[in-house]
Amino acid sequence: MADPATRFAAGDRVRALSVDPSHHTRLPRYVRGQVGEVLDVQGVWPLADDRAQGRPDPRSEPVYTVRFAAHDLWGEGSHWVTVALWQSYLEPVGTQERPEEQ
C-alpha cells in the first residue's frame, strides 16, 4: 500500500480536532480545538490509535510537529508547546485565524 499524501507543510496553520474518542488516542486534550502551526513533517508512521486497539494492520499517516502558543493552551506563558500529531488529528485553518508571532 502506498504512503498517504501529506496534506500540510511547514508554515501551515492547522486546528487540532475537538474530539473525545472512546478509545486511546495520542491527541492530547490540551490541544484539542486549538490552532497551531506546522513546523515539520516527520514522515509516515503507524497510527498510534490503531496500534493501541490491537489492530493487526494499523493505518499509516504523516506525522507533523505542530507548535501551539502556551497562552492559548493555558491562559499564560510566553513560550511555545510542540506536539507530534498524526494527520487525521488535524484540519486546515484559514489565514484569519493565525496565532500571533512571538
Q: Give the 3-state secondary structure of residue 86.
A: strand
Domains, the chain, ranges and CATH?
A: 13-97 (2.30.30.50)
Greater model confidence, 21 or 58: 58
Of 92, 29, 89, 37, residue with least CA distance to 67? 37
Alpha-helix runs per DSSP H in the chain: 48-52, 70-74
pTM for this entry: 0.84
- Output the pLDDT for position 1: 56
Q: Where are the beta strands (DSSP E) in 1-102?
A: 13-16, 35-46, 60-69, 80-86, 90-92
pLDDT digits (tens, 9 = 90+) for 75-94: 999 999 999 999 999 999 97
